[in-house]
Amino acid sequence: MKTIYASALMGLSLLFSGCQPEKPTDEISTIATFHWFDYQGQDAVFAEPLAKGSYQNPVAAGFFPDPSITRRGDDYYMVLSSFSYTPGLPILHSTDLVNWQLVGHALSRASQVDMSGMQVSRGIFAPTIRYHDGTFYIITTVVDKGGNFILTATDPAGPWSDPIWLPEVEGIDPDMFFDDDGKVYISHNGEAPDEALYEGHRAIWMWQYDPVKKAVLPDSKKLLVNGGVDLSTKPIWIEAPHIYKHNGWYYLVCAEGGTADQHSAVVFRTRSLNEPFVPYGDNPILTQRDLPADRANAITTAGHADLVQLPDGQWWAVFLATRTYDQTYFNTGRETFLLPVSWKDEWPTILPQGQEIPYRHPAPTGLVSSTGAMTQTGNFNWRDEFDGQNLKLDWNLLREFDQSWLTLDGQNLNINAKDVGMDSLSQPAFIGRRQQHTSFETSTSLVVPKGKISAGLVAFQNEQYHYYLGVKTAAGKTTVFLEQAKGAKPSLISSQDLAANTEQLRLRIQGKAGEISFYYADQTGDWQQLGEVQDAKILSTQVAGGFVGTTLGVHARQEKETIP
């Protein structure tokens, strides 16, 4: 039925566009029609049923980095980095801290930020979310195009305000702290005082903020931490500050060591914000850098934590970490994990040094269950029949907020192919969702395009590292093909001619750790593998670089040349 409907729509489109019948179809159509998209994740670490009263780490699997959390009553909200994906700043909601549902995005329109022309790992860096006196606040950074800014909303699902720009506040990873005397402070990572003593020498700075004037107070800038816990050891990349007040102490939790395998969370405290912060003698309060790299099912790169207090006084922490294969590789990006916070001598600790982050842990108690929410962890299937009027929240675009090139007609997704591909710094005609498992399968069904376009599935890490499994028809010949970008422009690595009368095609990508395979099938035939098993490590952060995870989705591209 979907095929008939799509064909009728195409016929009407040609009729009303005034196209002359003698023109070949391959000179007219730029529309790619997709019927559905399916994603399945099956990781061994998620396979065993959860014990009663326990939860699964990570609580938000896949590309959900740099988590920040806040509470309003019985509701908890997280915001994550999004870099140059749009809509930006995903907002997750939970009532039990372990089952999270994507409810919206804080950046939803072009009037808020401009990320055009950016590489995928630029754009929106680490945010902080706070709730105060009926209003939600997010403070974050758009690198290269404006710097630090604040957004506000009364409903965290949106809409959020246009930015309040903070031109005086340099650096990244800003935090907002509302003191009980009514004063508001912004802390952030910035340049070292005077001059850097070594590579990675940074500092944590603080400003007082006037919420009425919506600006920092002149001359209120103050140095909180120079370098890290111990400057003499040349600590690197002190960042991600968050300030809390508890039992008369001000606590400052930061990330230290860089966001790779030396990552950690460290803590400082002071009785007054007018006095120096003193580091904890047992820092770091979270790290995995002291564990063997060859341990089974390793969780690594742990750090960048934010804390939240529950109504009964418990404290819990969300933080980023990664699940690796072959010791150091991960394609899924930096993920969000959850652990309880313990207190000793009025110092907080997330995990004692030398202990592994657990995949399973007793869940927080005394909270309202969120088990009805769409999970972001464990093994699951996710499917989009494209039967709505708007894209599901799980889908992301690149760089720009414009969606005029796609339509949902209630049965199909129709994409108007652009003349740029996945290697472009413009916005390609692409929508993607997160790869949330090391072992996954994703597939789609589409109308074989007859114009000078191609359409298909993409596994995308960045502009120079991705795969495109596509199909096109040119000069009466239909071809399914595979392109690989491996540190340079995409190149054709495999292709197969199909029967000339092929009108419908299914495409599938299967990934397992460092291997990835590509398949095709017509509507009645069996799956056929296209080419050999390919290298999935090119989709890992270790090979491709950057701060994002792999996304999987559909793409359409105008073709200037015939594929050999």
**Known active-site residue 326:** no
Q: What are phi and psi of 378, to 5 degrees?
A: 75, 180
239 vs 485: CA distance, rounded Å:
33
408 vs 406: CA distance, rounded Å:
7
Catalytic residue among 43, 96, 175, 239: 239
Distances (CA, A) of 289 to 52, 293, 356, 362: 31, 8, 10, 24
518 contacts 508 by C-beta, under 8 angstroms: yes
64 vs 81: CA distance, rounded Å:
7
412 contacts 437 by C-beta, under 8 angstroms: no
Q: Which two tokens stand for residue 343?
A: 């207190």
Catalytic residue among 66, 96, 394, 441: 66
CA atoms within 13 A on the CB side of 94: 22
557 contacts 429 by C-beta, under 8 angstroms: yes
The count of other CB atoms within 10 Å of the CB of residue 383 is: 10
Closest CA to 36 of 353, 386, 304, 380: 386
3-state DSSP of 1-60: CHHHHHHHHHHHHHHHCCCCCCCCHHHCCCEEEEEEEEEEECCHHHCCCCCCCEEECCCE
Regarding beta strands 215-216 and 335-344, do their DSSP bridges make them parallel or antiparallel, or are they unpaired? unpaired
SS3 content of the chain, % helix, strand, coil (to 5): 5, 45, 50
Rounded to the nearest 10 degrees, how much is the dihedral formed by the CA atoms of 152, 155, 159, 161? -10
Residue 340: is it exposed, middle or buried by C-beta count within 10 angstroms (0-12/13-18/19+)?
middle
34 contacts 455 by C-beta, under 8 angstroms: yes
Q: Fill in the DSSP letter of residue 539.
A: G
Closest CA to 308 of 18, 512, 65, 67: 67
479 contacts 495 by C-beta, under 8 angstroms: yes
All residues at 6 or more sequence positions from 87 whose CB lies less than 8 Å from its CB, including other chains: 105, 107, 108, 396, 397, 401
Q: What is the CA radius of gyration of the chain?
A: 25
CA atoms within 13 A on the CB side of 136: 26
**Known active-site residue 66:** yes
513 vs 325: CA distance, rounded Å:
6
- How many residues are recorded in the chain? 564
Q: Which two tokens stand for residue 430?
A: 């692409």
Q: What are phi and psi of 487, to 5 degrees?
A: 85, 5
Closest CA to 58 of 100, 88, 11: 100
Does a cis peptide bond (omega within 30 degrees of 0) precede residue 90? Answer: no
Residues annotated as catalytic (active site), given as ranges: 66, 239
